[in-house]
A and B are shown apart, each in its own frame.
Chain A
Amino acid sequence: MGRIVLDRVKKNFEQVTVIPPLDLEINDGEFVVFVGPSGCGKSTLLRLIAGLEDVTQGTISIDGNDATDVPPAKRGLAMVFQSYALYPHMSVRKNIAFPLRMAKLDKAEQDKRVEQAADVLNLTDYLDRRPGQLSGGQRQRVAIGRAIVREPAAFLFDEPLSNLDAALRVGMRLEISELHKRLETTMIYVTHDQVEAMTMADKIVVLHAGVIEQVGSPLELYRSPRNKFVAGFIGSPKMNFLAGEEAGKLNADTVGIRPEHIRASASEGDWVGRVGVSEHLGSDTFFHVHVEDWPQPVTVRAGGEVEMYHGDTIYLTPDPERIHRFDAQGLRLG
């Protein structure tokens, strides 16, 4: 069980409001990702749920019980920190067993649960090592192991993959997703990386300056971003925004179109421009196209192995169905 409800939660640091009153519901078993640029309050929000920070106003309830003033240890949540926060003087076994030891479980039960967790996380061979002797990925797994053994109502992850190298990050992303499928426990995951958010989440919460910009499934956010911020934040490479004449034709202040919804051609199209930088990834090709009189280059995704290079003339045709229109306040139209 792990249903978490935030009701008008507000957080001030001294005089500064970091999180203005905010409502959020997280259902049991959901994988929720808080995503946003750094300083948007996503980690603070997680720490409020964990109880490591006190809320200034509002209530947090876990499984229907008011947990606002419950100390972190009693909330039944487990947290995985960005720095892993392993205890360096304890072996992996003792690290994982620490919450059980604090809960005063008997030794046999402790050993059983540690063995189980180690088995799930492929740590059995490392149980007697110290954290200092492990690689980054292994340390990450120990931190997860320490969270699993408590059988918490929900897992909280605070940017757990940001200290790992790119290849390992993709692997751990899969492992965490698999773990979620197996345990079916609520997970709340904080990241600034929209790729992590899109790949792992059941529900994404996009935060900007402490305010929830939009909540929805990855594809909902992709298909119908509520405003310009979400539109620009979700999707890689970023959505192209066009203002002025092009937007005016469609009765909008700004229009946005994703690179993958523009067709590139060497011979014909609506817009004509010159290739600035071309990125050939093999599976895809990205062109940064300079169209005359437009302030920003347009990013376009073409298929793989398209042989066009810097300086070539290129014709672009947007998919009219996939153009997002925004008003002067940046809100979605239509």
Chain B
Amino acid sequence: MATQHSRSAARVMMAPAVILLLGWMLIPLTMTLWFSFRRFLPLRGGDLGWIGLENYVRFVTSSSFWPAVQTTLVLVGGVLLITVVLGVLLAMLLDQPMWGQGVVRILIIAPFFVMPTVSALVWKNMFMDPVNGLFAHLWQAFGAEPIVWLSDASLFSIVLIVSWQWLPFATLILLTAIQSLDSEQLEAAEMDGAPPLSRFGFIILPHLSRAITIVILIQTIFLLSIFAEIFVTTGGAFGTRTLTYMIFQRVLESQNVGLGSAGGVYAIILANIVAIFLMRIVGRNLDA
């Protein structure tokens, strides 16, 4: 079917979408790159000209850079750990035949449909509020001192909120993977004398390995750019300043567009490294 004619027609047809996508991506990217090499202080004189790599050096040598990197890693790592472990367990649970399966599955997915800002506010005000929050009441019911979640356990609180949002995604992907496991394999393992834990370790987990990798990579890309949850809860205070949040602060709070752009370029490089791994694994998945 792929004649010369149909191929050139296809190119023409695809052009608008490709051009739009390229423009959408290339213009901000080019502007970010451009600003990152300039001293650009909108409220203090505007664009003050070319300064080479100074922004890049300053961003990395700032005293808050390494703590921000650490915070980012703890946030991403923590959320990944919780969502993958609970995701596998939940997926196995949901795979069991039970009454009301369809409704339960939809309910499980529900948190994913809640906007990040909304879910963070709900958690902040309804669960974690030290006076009126559900957790405060729970603690008090046991006679304990309520925890001031967002200042005493700030990073952990954010990990919790973000995990709640992303658990459905992990569960859903892992559930479909579990459903594709040939039940005869499990029966064969049972006949071969493997107790339930060994069946999980030797059959189910290896079967899920690819799905878990995909969950980890996709989530990493999105988790690196977590912003709303931090903005509406701690505002970057109490050790919750991630790399993304630091870029936001450099651009909007310090009004230093150049410095923020340099940070943005670092973030692009980081996200691309993850993306390359993702493409490879997804590609391999399609080959097999």
Contacts and interface: CB of A to CB of B under 8 A. Distances in A.
B16 interface: no
A99 B190 CA distance: 9
A52 B187 contact: yes
Category for how many chain B residues contact A: 10 to 19
B253 interface: no
Nearest to A78: B191
B203 interface: yes
Interface string A81-94: 11101111100000
B228 interface: no
B206 A99 contact: no
B100 interface: no
A85 B202 contact: no
B176 interface: no
A83 B182 contact: yes
Interface in A45-87: 50, 52, 71-74, 77-79, 81-83, 85-87
B211 to A, nearest CB: 13
Given A81-B184, A89-B206, A89-B207, A72 B191 contact: yes
B208 to A, nearest CB: 11
Contacts of A81: 184, 187-188
A99 B187 contact: no
A146 interface: yes
B101 interface: no
Interface stretch (B112-120, B192-200, B254-262, B265-273): B192-200
A150 B184 contact: no
B202 A87 contact: yes
Contact of A79 (B185, B191, B194): B191
Contacts of B191: 50, 52, 72-73, 77-79
A102 interface: yes
A229 interface: no
B189 interface: yes
Contacts of A83: 182, 184
Given A85-B187, A87-B202, A99 B192 contact: yes
A99 B202 CA distance: 12
Contacts of B207: 88-89
Given A87-B203, A89-B206, A98-B202, A150 B188 contact: no
A48 B104 CA distance: 32
A126 to B, nearest CB: 19
Contacts of A243: none
B206 A85 contact: no
Determine the main DSSP class of B at the interface with A: helix
A85 B190 contact: no
Contacts of A77: 191
B220 to A, nearest CB: 24
Contacts of A1: none
B281 to A, nearest CB: 15
Contacts of B203: 87
B193 A73 contact: yes
A73 B190 contact: yes
A150 B191 CA distance: 10
Contact of A85 (B184, B193, B209): B184
Contacts of A99: 192-193
Contacts of B195: 73
Nearest to B210: A89
A174 interface: no
Interface in B138-190: 182, 184-185, 187-190
A193 B277 CA distance: 49
B198 A85 contact: no
Contact of A103 (B187, B193, B202): B193
A82 B184 CA distance: 9
A257 B168 CA distance: 65
B192 A73 contact: yes
Contacts of A88: 207
Nearest to A99: B192
B6 to A, nearest CB: 36
Interface in A34-54: 50, 52
A102 B182 contact: no
B176 to A, nearest CB: 17
A87 B193 contact: no
A82 B190 CA distance: 16
A103 B191 CA distance: 12
A233 B189 CA distance: 35
B198 A79 contact: no
B188 A79 contact: yes
Nearest to B185: A85
A82 to B, nearest CB: 7
A79 B189 CA distance: 10
B206 to A, nearest CB: 4
A98 B184 contact: no
Nearest to A50: B191
B190 A72 contact: yes
Residue in B182, B187, B191, B206 whose Cβ sees the most chain A Cβ within 10 Å: B191
29 contacts: A52-B187, A52-B191, A72-B190, A72-B191, A73-B190, A73-B192, A73-B193, A73-B194, A74-B193, A77-B191, A79-B187, A79-B188, A81-B184, A83-B184, A86-B185, A87-B185, A87-B188, A87-B189, A87-B202, A87-B203, A87-B206, A88-B207, A98-B189, A99-B192, A99-B193, A103-B193, A146-B188, A146-B192, A150-B192
Given A87-B189, A102-B194, 4 more contacts: A72-B191, A73-B190, A87-B206, A102-B193
Which 9 pairs across A and B sit closest by C-beta, in order of nearness?
A85-B188, A73-B193, A85-B184, A99-B192, A102-B193, A89-B206, A81-B184, A85-B185, A79-B191
